[in-house]
Structure formats: structure tokens, C-alpha cells
Amino acid sequence: MESNLVKGRATANLWLDTLCIPVQSQCHEYRDRCIHDMHKIYREAVAVVVLDPDLQQATRVSKPVEIVARLLCSLWKMRLWTYQEGSIALDLEFSDSEDDNVHKHMNRDIVEFQITRSLRNVCRKFIMSSARWDLENNPESTLDDMLRAVSHRGTSRPDDETICIATLMHLDPAPLLDALPRHRMTMLLQMLPWIPKLALFAYGPRQQAPGSRWAPLKFITPYGIKDPVVCSWRCLTQKAKRAIHYAGGDVNCRQKVWTILCLGEK
């Protein structure tokens, strides 16, 4: 499979995170430099090849349902940093036990294809998103999708969460790398062009600094980030309705439109 990916090229450069990103404390500067360029590395790559133990147990006779299930349950899918490989890569390849692309085995049976179509949509949403193109065309929705996807993942270095999200959004992570870990979430939200509505409904603890208590400490949660709660007009108090009219906003229980209001007593 690898020979087909680099066919027609005199040389082929290889990037492997575990080899190319130093973890020693004395190499902190080089690690930060690698992380700073991570978005560029994956965006300009010819292809990304995923070598995962669960997926590599698949064979040419594996059923499409099994392949998709292995993908959704793989360790690769659970890691925070690997999300950008699927969302930014131009060409994403998964290697099976025979060093072949598992995608080739997915369309053999039209009946099984129909069964796995919904699972494929889950894969596209949480693994192989179109963030590479949507960041320019629909950035707000793309950010929500990214946060929803990364909330189900984990990392051995929790302090890297905001840095990873910044690289996904093609933001400069340098200020975050220089900041103390406890300040990074607030800094990330300040770097974004808008406050994502999902941040207000995320599970888990909140910031304690005055003015930032609405912000989550982290987006990674055991249950993931759900869609915002949407209420109907009838469930609102008269005070809330007056505030909505004053702000020019609206609440729609069918189209999932939500206007954020700060209704506090003076």
C-alpha cells in the first residue's frame, strides 16, 4: 500500500509522531516547535497511514460491519491527537493484516453497505470529518463538530487539550505553549473568533476566575459534549421573553436555534 502512495516520487519523507516529537524535558523547545507545525505537517502530507492493532486484525474476508466496528473501537480513534490525522489529512488510509487498505473491503456487498451506511456517517463525523475544507466555508459549525468529536477522546497529557484544539483550528498554539496549563482554556476561548455555544453546555467543572465561570475547565468529558438544550417559547418566563426581544434573538424548539442570554439580578 505504501508503494502506491508514493508512486512517481523520487523520495518520500516520513513523519511518525512517536519518533519525530521528543518527549524528554531537555527537548522541550523542539517538542513545542513540532506541535506548532502539526497542522501544516498533516495538511501538506500526501497521505496518512493508520497502523492500529485492532484494524490490522482485519483481513480481505472481514465483513464491512466488523471493519467499521473495529475502527470505531480502535485505540487510534480514542486518542486526542489522532483526530487531526482524520480531519486534516488529504488522504487517510487504514492498513489491515495484509498491508492493504481496509476501504477496499467495504463495498463488496451492497446489502452490507446499506447496513453500514449509518456507521459510515458516524465515522465521518467523529473520525474522518471534512474539516480540511469546512474550516473556510462553515467555520462555526466545524468548530462545534470538532469539539463534539474530541470530547470523546483522551490523552496521557491533559494539558495538551487546548493546544490540540488550537492546531485543529489552524490557530497559533505558541501563546498556549508558553502559558501555565490552568490558564490555557481561557486563552483558547479568547483566541477563537467567537465563543462556541457547546462550551456553555459542556459537562464537568468550570473555571473559577471571575468573569470566566461560564467556561469549562476542559472539553474532554466521559460522556462527550451533547447538542445544546433547546426550549420552546412557552417555557420561558416573561422576563426572559422581554430580554430576548430586547436582544433581537430567538428561541426555536424545532430548528435547534439558541440565543445565549445572561439574565442576572441587579
List the grid coordinates of 98.
495484509
Structural domain of 62: 2-130
> In whole angstroms, what is the distance from residue 215 CA to residue 150 CA?
17
Rounded to an integer, what is the distance from CA 150 to the centroid of its chain? 4
Considering the domain architecture, whether residues 89 and 106 belong to the same structural domain is answered as yes
Considering the domain architecture, whether residues 112 and 158 belong to the same structural domain is answered as no
Answer whether 144's CB lies under 8 Å from 197's CB. yes
pLDDT in the model for residue 128 = 56
Contacts of 257 (CB under 8 A, 6+ apart): 230, 250, 251
- pLDDT, tens digit (0-9, with 9 covering 90-100), for 150-187: 888 888 888 889 999 898 888 899 999 999 998 999 89
pLDDT at 137 over 80: no
Per the structure, the count of domains in the chain is: 3
Residue where a domain stops, chosen among 96, 115, 130: 130
Answer whether 224's CB lies under 8 Å from 152's CB. yes
- pLDDT, tens digit (0-9, with 9 covering 90-100), for 69-125: 888 888 888 888 888 887 787 787 877 666 555 555 555 454 455 555 666 666 666
Residue where a domain stops, chosen among 151, 171, 196: 196
> In whole angstroms, what is the distance from residue 98 CA to residue 43 CA?
27
User: What DSSP designation does 95 have?
Assistant: B
- pLDDT, tens digit (0-9, with 9 covering 90-100), for 185-219: 989 988 988 888 777 777 778 888 888 888 888 88
Considering the domain architecture, whether residues 121 and 234 belong to the same structural domain is answered as no
Considering the domain architecture, whether residues 126 and 150 belong to the same structural domain is answered as no
Closest among 224, 216, 204 to 77, alpha carbons compared: 224
Question: Which DSSP helix (H) or strand (E) runs through 49?
Answer: strand 48-50
The reported pTM is: 0.70
Task: Give the CA angle between residues 195, 196, 201 to the nearest 5°.
Answer: 115
Closest among 217, 260, 221, 256 to 240, alpha carbons compared: 260
Answer whether 34's CB lies under 8 Å from 75's CB. no
